[in-house]
Chain A
Amino acid sequence: MNDETTFQHPFHLRGKTVLVTGASSGIGRAVAVECARAGARVVINGRDAGRLTDTLALLDAGLDHAACAADLTDPPQMARLVAACGELDGVVHAAGVHGVTPLRMLRQSFMQTVLDANFLAPLMLTQQLLAKKTLRNGASLVFMSSIAAHTGTVGVGPYSASKAALEGMIRPLALEIAPRAMRANAIAPGLVDTPLVNDDRAWLDDKAKMYPLGLGKPEDVAYAAIYLLADISRKVTGTQLHLDGGIPWT
């Protein structure tokens, strides 16, 4: 075990306030926990107030962490979050939903639901944070994309499309916010062992065989987010960070 005092590294978030959406479970919860451990004050958001309180209890004590339950597909609830979170140095957009259906059975209402949660919510939250001047100079915005934005899997069309839309938005956003030294990047993870996907263990174990380094853990994504949030990545913008256990088709 290494004592933090015996070595130094630039992968810390001390002095920063970071908003994490989707923090009531899975990747979002791990991001919130690890950001707090890296020294950040964390504002967590999710739909389920009870589970959000559970996440809050997992955060390293000492800083004045806050929780704000809100469904980001509902504009009034989003406005309440923006008003509550205060000034921010970083945002990790980890909230997301499944979007699996074969195309010949796709209904427009289903597609709209997937786009609302995976694309429009992070997009409009960013718009609100910029318009309300909630982001400090040098802030880092991290969007949760997916390997699905780059690969083809039968039935995953709506989800893939929503994540590809998100990545398309990041490059113009990165250029627009650069004058204030702010940055926008995506993390594109492969299959991570989270409640979103692990209800069918046999299916998951079968999929794991595709990944040379096995399935991801939520902490793996959290450590990538910490790199992108920390000042050490101040020159990294508009990119997708592929995080997929070396899978040979990205």
Chain B
Amino acid sequence: MNASPFSLAGRTILITGASSGIGEATARLCATMGARILACGRDRERLANVVAGLAGADHQTIIGDLTDPAARQALVDAAPSLDGCVFSAGAAQLAPMRMVTQRHLDQLFAVNYDAPVLLTQALLARRRIAANASLVYVTAVAEHVAPHATGIYSGAKAALTATVRTIAVEHAKQGVRANCVSPGYVATPMLDGLQNVMSTGDKAALAPLGMIEPGDVAGAIAWLLAPASRWVSRTSLVIDSGLSLHVR
């Protein structure tokens, strides 16, 4: 093998949720590893700032809310042939089971399950996924641990993990791989958004190796995108700082 197995040179990679948190860190790392990034997010200004700071050239932005079918259609229309996709757009909301509503359920599944699954479907149907491409889905260790008030969030992430296994089996013939990363508490704007309903700092302190930074998750994603992991598919990589070791 002549080329470095850890290079993404010559690869085009779609990253959803690229304007902040894990998606932003992944865009930065993949760009330094040589990839051309197709960055998708809702906030035009933040996304432009992220892309302006990326290493390399020829990166592209797509503004849109991927829970909207028209936005997914626009993305698929604009997408070139993709060697990698990172589905990191997501949202968390808490509700104890006795207060769960249809609206809560619909909102969390729309963002965390329907959007990545239906975007994958559209990209596959329109043949935008290149042979030997690597698809990486950001789930959450909550899918295994399911603490208080995360029943629907955990359920949506667990559902995504199950569906990713099928994607991996169905598209292995084209050399396409599909994997999940399953992070614990990561220092992101999404976690900050939960500060008023839970003490996220206390939760992270329970993790034996401390708070996880977005770059830690981006590193796992970049490894799953690179040729180095060409034999890894249909799996889920837990990055939780040891948080779930007591219960796993």
Taking a contact as CB atoms under 8 Å apart, the answer to whether B223 and A248 are in contact is: no
Contact B32 A175 (CB under 8 A): no
A194-250 at interface with B (beta carbon < 8 Å):
212-214, 216-217, 219-220, 223-224, 226-227, 232-239, 241-248, 250
The reply to whether the CB of B7 lies closer than 8 angstroms to some CB of chain A is yes
Q: Check if B99 is an interface residue, CB within 8 A of chain A.
A: no
Residues of B within 8 A of A217 (CB): 231
Q: Which residues from chain B contact A4 at a C-beta distance below 8 Å?
A: 4
Q: State A145–B237 Cα separation when bound (angstroms).
A: 16
Residues of chain A lying within 8 A (CB to CB) of residue B33: 7-9
Q: How many contacting A-B pairs (Cβ < 8 A)?
A: 140
Write out the residue numbers on chain A whose beta carbons fall within 8 Å of the beta carbon of B120.
Answer: none
Decide: B234 and A246 in contact? CB cutoff 8 A.
yes
Q: How far is the CA of A64 from the CA of B4 in the complex (A)?
A: 23
Name the residue among A217, A233, A237 with the largest chain B CB count within 10 angstroms: A237
- How far apart are B34's CB and chain A's nearest CB, in angstroms? 4
Q: Which residue of B lies closest to A239 (CB)?
A: B238
Inside 8 A of B175's CB, which chain A residues have their CB?
213
| Residues on the A chain within 8 Å of B169, using CB | 212, 246, 248
Q: Is A237 in contact with B208, judged by CB distance below 8 angstroms?
A: yes
For this complex, into which size category does the number of interface residues on chain A fall? 35 or more
Q: Does A6 sit within 8 A of B, measured CB to CB?
A: yes
Decide yes or no whether B49 CB sits under 8 A from chain A: no
Chain B stretch 191-239: residues in CB contact (< 8 A) with chain A: 208-210, 212, 215-216, 219-220, 222-223, 226, 228-235, 237-239
Does B69 have its Cβ within 8 Å of any Cβ on chain A? no
Q: Which residues of A contact B5 (CB under 8 A)?
A: 219, 223
Query: Is B7 a contact of A238 with CB atoms below 8 Å?
Result: no
Contact B172 A246 (CB under 8 A): yes
A7-B34, A212-B173, A248-B165 known; A226 and B228 CB under 8 Å?
A: yes
By the criterion CB–CB under 8 Å, are B32 and A9 in contact? yes
Q: Are A183 and B32 within 8 A (Cβ)? A: no
**CB of A143 to closest CB in B, whole Å:** 15
Query: Quick one: closest A residue to B212, CB to CB?
Result: A235
With A1-B2, A246-B177 as known contacts, state yes or no: A233 contacts B9, CB within 8 Å: no
Q: Residues 1-27 of chain B: 1 if any A CB is under 8 Å from the residue's CB, otherwise 0?
A: 111111111000000000000000000
| Any B CB within 8 A of the CB of A82 | no
B residues contacting A by CB (< 8 A) are: 1-9, 29, 32-34, 165, 168-169, 172-173, 175, 177, 184, 208-210, 212, 215-216, 219-220, 222-223, 226, 228-235, 237-242, 245-246, 248
Q: What are the 10 tightest A-B residue pairs by CB atom distance, in nearest-first order?
A: A246-B233, A212-B172, A178-B208, A232-B219, A223-B228, A220-B231, A242-B235, A11-B6, A246-B234, A7-B34
9 A-B residue pairs with Cβ-Cβ distance under 8 Å, sorted by A, are: A174-B208, A224-B232, A233-B239, A234-B216, A235-B209, A235-B210, A235-B212, A238-B242, A239-B237
